[in-house]
Structure 1
Amino acid sequence: MERTAKPSEPPAEIALGERMNANTVTVITGTPGGTYFRAGADLAFALDDGDRMRILPILGKGAGENAYDLRFLKGVDLGFVRTDTLEQLRQDKRLKNIEQRIQYIAKLFNDELHILAPLSVEKISDLAGKRVSFDVKGSGTDYSGRVMFKELGISVDPVNVDQPTALEMLRKGEIAAVVSVAAKPVAFLEGFDPKNRFHLVPATYSETMNEAYVPATLSSVDYPRLVGAQPVETVAVGSILGVYNSPKGSPRYEKLVRFVDAFFGQFDKFLSPPRHPKWREVNLAASVSGWTRFQPAQDWLDRHRGPDAAPSPELTRFFQSQAGRSADKDEIYRAYLKWRRSQ
């Protein structure tokens, strides 16, 4: 059979394609309506700069699967993962030197443990031995939620179904609770009508828990139909903007350097509506125990907070207002972000 010759592409089209690929950074997010999905959209809208920088969000299953996508999918540059993700990957005997493959640009906000159950379930220990849904297999809730229950000493019968299906199963009494580990407020819980039958169950933080987990609360401001006047105690895990550690000097590395400059340099854009309110919790200077920061991100921070950095007039004004105050760099930076938002 005679082969049909492939028409050559015009030089202008070749140049356009090369430019688009060189300036597009992809980020694996989460399911529609979730916080990671919204945060990915915020990155795209806030940092879009025509031909110079484009952020392309990709739907994902959540932090658990995102780690594998970030490690193995050739088209994924960034991903929303969690502080406990490396431990998850270390347990996979197929993977080697994962700390050098996946690094982080910045620690972001916390994802809280949500446990939706009937009013008869007063505390997390009431769920021992019962069927509990942990979202779909491979999701962030599937990994972090199960580990949180284990760290709290509660053994349950885990079920993996999507959240809408889980809510219907809960209404019918087929499962005892629906778990979600996500940044509050979670959309599917925000819109859930409890009909005076369901509530969010407390999960009190234990000092024996892994350092990846921290105490947190859920309030009536977050969920007016699910929480009363008294806040609900729970636990949380940190989210991270993870990055594939591409070889220095490669085209992929160079565009990630440009992303770091844009993300850190224009972070003010994330601190007011319509961006997700969770961005206001972010301290760009915060380090993450057990993780390695992507070198261009570390270089950016060193340049802008090092002894030789030339502070902006507003930063100088802020530090003058802090005269005589004793605090470490991370604390001062958090105070600076809070001060800047108030200006």
Structure 2
Amino acid sequence: MLRYLLCSLFLISASVCGYANDNNIGMITGNATGTYVKIGADLSAVLDGDEGLRIIPMLGRGSQSNINDILNLDYVDMGLVQSDVLTQIRLTDPNAPALDKISYIAKIYNEELHVLARRDSDIHSIYDLSGKNVSTGGTGSGSESTSRLVLKFLDIAVTEHHLRHTDALEGLKSGNIDAMMFVAGKPTAFLNGVTEADNLRLIPLPFSALLASTYQPSIFKSSDYPALIENGFVQTISVGAILAVFDDLDENTPRYHALAAFCEALLKNQDAFKNPARHTKWQEFSPRATVPGWRRFLPMARLLAQPETVQ
């Protein structure tokens, strides 16, 4: 409901000021408590006014939904998505418009796959999820996409439950489900309220060649989640959080020029995102980081090819 309210407010302001103010850039992010919405707020705070831009973040429903919004909503120019979302699309619809009409500006940071189960369960590794009741994330979410891909790559069959994080956590505590899988940048504030009394633990997900084409190895340390890790660290995988952009525009259109100006402003102000006032995940930001399976938005690629571009 809040998402629709914000989108409505955007459309009202667009009709008053004219979305036709060609320097307005609509950006779809994530839910109200997630990292994406904070990254979107930072982009707006730092880049608003630069190159005459107006950055307007909006709440989103997850990576798959964000891709659809970028493709189909006139007031959404770009959005934050997980880098494996195109892999999921290629597997389900090889002719999907997203494969030709969306590119990426930059990778912002890494997010980790969390697999949670109860300490008193017989689940000790990712393979023990076979045959279990597992929440893979809300319908259309990035968590759902990543969870399904990982289970597919590892040939693990589960009974899926499509629960949002808060509902899945309660279901896990009560025993209604056996495990939950979700993607978030570590350490996520979502797990701040979990204590040892909740009797939960993070389940290891060792990196393997089956995952290497899409993911990177990562770990959780006990300092990340003291109540969830018993022995120092737990293996997992990471997926990139990237800024995807609508890329089916004539280079002579004002909208294309605004997106090119955004790329220039992002590079010019990249040091400002390292400021302590910004989200800590910006410390991972490296504009030159490439994303397998994606093509770079041409204006950004051109800027990065210039020797004077800030590294």
Distance in 2 (CA, whole Å) between partners of 1:221 and 1:272 is 23
Q: CA deviation at 1:114?
A: 0.2
Partner Cα distance (1:29, 1:98) in 2: 18
Runs of 5+ unmatched residues, structure 2:
1-12
Report the CA distance between 1:126 and its aligned residue.
Answer: 2.1
Distance 1:73 1:90 in 2: 22
> What is the Cα deviation at residue 269 of structure 1?
1.1
Q: Structure 1 residue 16: deviation in Å?
A: 7.6
Q: Which residue of 2 aligns with 1:163?
A: 165
Q: How does 1:13-52 map onto structure 2 within 5 Å?
A: 17-18=17-18, 21-49=21-49, 52=52
Query: Which amino acid counterpart does residue 153 of structure 1 have in structure 2?
Result: D
SS in structure 1 at match of 2:241: strand
Identity of aligned residues (%): 38
Shift of 1:190: 2.5
1:265 counterpart = 2:248: no
> How do 1:1-16 and structure 2 match up within 5 A?
none
- What's the CA shift for 1:206? 0.9
1:136 corresponding residue in structure 2? 138
CA deviations 1:279-308 (Å, max 9, x no partner) are: 1112211222222111110111112x3xxx
Q: Deviations over 1:143-176 (max 9, x none)?
A: 1111112223322111001211111111110001
Structure 1 residue 140, shift from structure 2 partner: 0.3
| Matched-pair contact (CA < 8 Å) for 2:35–2:185 | yes
2:183 aligns with 181
d(CA) in 1 for partners of 2:108, 2:51: 27
Q: What RMSD in Å do the two structures reach over aligned CA positions?
A: 2.4
Are residues 125 and 16 of structure 1, via their aligned partners in 2, closer, same or farther at CA, if it must alter by over 3 Å? closer
Larger Rg: 1
Q: Which residue is 1:322 aligned to?
A: none
Q: Secondary structure at the match of 2:271?
A: helix
Cα distance change, pair 60–94 in 1 and its aligned pair in 2 (3 A): same
In structure 2, how many angstroms separate the alpha carbons of the residues matched to 1:275 and 1:56? 17
Aligned equivalents of 2:129 and 2:19: distance in 1? 54
Report the equivalent of 1:200: 202
Aligned residues: 296
Q: Distance in 2 between matches of 1:174 and 1:19?
A: 47
- TM-score with structure 1 length normalisation? 0.80
Unaligned runs of 5+ in 1: 1-12, 316-332, 334-343
Distance (whole Å) between structure 1 residues aligned to residue 140 and residue 185 of structure 2:
18
